[in-house]
Amino acid sequence: MALTMQLFMLVLLPLSSLLPPGAQAGEIIRGHEAKPHSRPYMAYLEIQDGDDSYSCGGFLVSENFVLTAAHCKGDKITVKLGAHNIREREESQQVILVDHQYLHLDYDKEPHNNDIMLLKLAKRAKLNRWVKTINLPHTTKKVKPGTKCSVAGWGRTVAWNILTQATRLQEVDVEVLEDDKCMYRHYNAFTMMCVGDPEKGKDSAKGDSGGPLVCGKTAQGIVSWGPYCPPGVYTRVSTFITWIQETMRRLQP
């Protein structure tokens, strides 16, 4: 498809101000519609922050916790699970309010370092064929450059110069790159991943911020930030496994 038909924004415009100087929320190109309900771990986040409202992606890691990016925080978050078309009331959908938002204590919004957040749901999700959890990686085990992965979300699209939000889940295949391919000012190889394919024009930041980078059957990254062309930057999930496990264990009812 033509590039102008496949431009997907990670986050709405108010979030652009949270990115490092010279960086944007990212653009997504050459994606396509996902097979309905082929990614049952996906979560769509509706966020209200003061007078602003926007959306992010996320993914279910247990019956009552969703993992997403810290910059997706807000005053009120509603999670939609089991969705393909977010504008329809599908029988598969579960809509659950977020009870508490737990940002990483060392999150720094200026360079987007430690850009990770756990959302505790007000009630447990009902796991079924439409709603499932996804595996997390082992602690500090890095994904090798050259690994083929994918990313999905309901990002914003541009078609014929008209800006709209995708209503059906979109996805794209991407590749993990060497860290030196992301020579951005605030790139941190310990907490971030460099992903994408500039030659093929496939952006590494597919979908809304907070969505998962899936390698095999494991969520290795979280859509975080990047420029208007690939590669993009993801939060490296393996770095935060201990924090995720301890936070969930402490907060379980």
Catalytic site residue 209? yes
- The answer to whether 118 and 218 are in contact (CB under 8 A) is no
Catalytic site residue 180? no
- Compute the mean pLDDT over every residue in the chain, rounded to the nearest whole number: 84
Q: Which residue has the tokens 């699970």?
A: 81
pTM of the model: 0.86
Range with lowest mean pLDDT among 65-69, 118-122, 140-144, 235-239: 140-144
Going by pLDDT thresholds of 50, 70 and 90, the confidence category of residue 79 is very high
Going by pLDDT thresholds of 50, 70 and 90, the confidence category of residue 24 is very low
196 closest CA partner among 213, 216, 219, 218: 213
Question: Which range has highest mean pLDDT (87-96, 135-144, 205-214)?
Answer: 87-96
Quick one: CATH architecture of 3-34+135-238? Beta Barrel (2.40)
Residue-level pLDDT at 253: 67
Range with lowest mean pLDDT among 2-16, 96-110, 167-181: 2-16
Average pLDDT over residues 113-139: 97
Extents of the domains making up the chain: 3-34+135-238, 42-132+241-251
Predicted confidence (pLDDT) at residue 245 exceeds the cutoff of 80:
yes
User: Do the domains 42-132+241-251 and 3-34+135-238 match in fold?
Assistant: yes
Q: Is 119 exposed, middle or buried (0-12, 13-18, 19+ CB in 10 A)?
A: buried
C-alpha separations of 203 from 38, 65, 172 in Å: 21, 28, 8
CB-side neighbour CA atoms (13 Å) of 75: 6
Residue-level pLDDT at 164: 63
- The answer to whether 99 and 121 are in contact (CB under 8 A) is yes
* 7 or 226, greater pLDDT: 226
C-alpha separations of 109 from 1, 22, 69, 224 in Å: 34, 14, 11, 11
Going by pLDDT thresholds of 50, 70 and 90, the confidence category of residue 21 is very low
Predicted confidence (pLDDT) at residue 96 exceeds the cutoff of 80:
yes
pLDDT in tens, 26-52: 334 566 889 999 999 999 999 999 999
Find the largest Cα–Cα distance for the chain: 49
71, 84, 104, 112: the active-site residue: 71
Residue-level pLDDT at 201: 65
Tell me the Cα Rg of the chain. Answer: 16
CA distance 131 to 24: 31
55, 84, 112, 115: the active-site residue: 115
Q: Which residue has the tokens 């990770």?
A: 116
3-state helix, strand, coil in the chain (%, to 5): 10, 40, 50
Range with lowest mean pLDDT among 18-22, 210-214, 224-228: 18-22
Residue-level pLDDT at 109: 80
Predicted confidence (pLDDT) at residue 208 exceeds the cutoff of 90:
no
222 closest CA partner among 115, 143, 77: 115
CATH of domain 42-132+241-251: 2.40.10.10
Q: DSSP readout, 190-224?
A: TTEEEE-BTTTTB-S--SSTT-EEEETTEEEEEEE
* Collapsed DSSP state (helix, strand, coil) of residue 156: strand
* 141 or 189, greater pLDDT: 189
55, 62, 204, 209: the active-site residue: 209
Range with lowest mean pLDDT among 68-72, 171-175, 238-242: 171-175
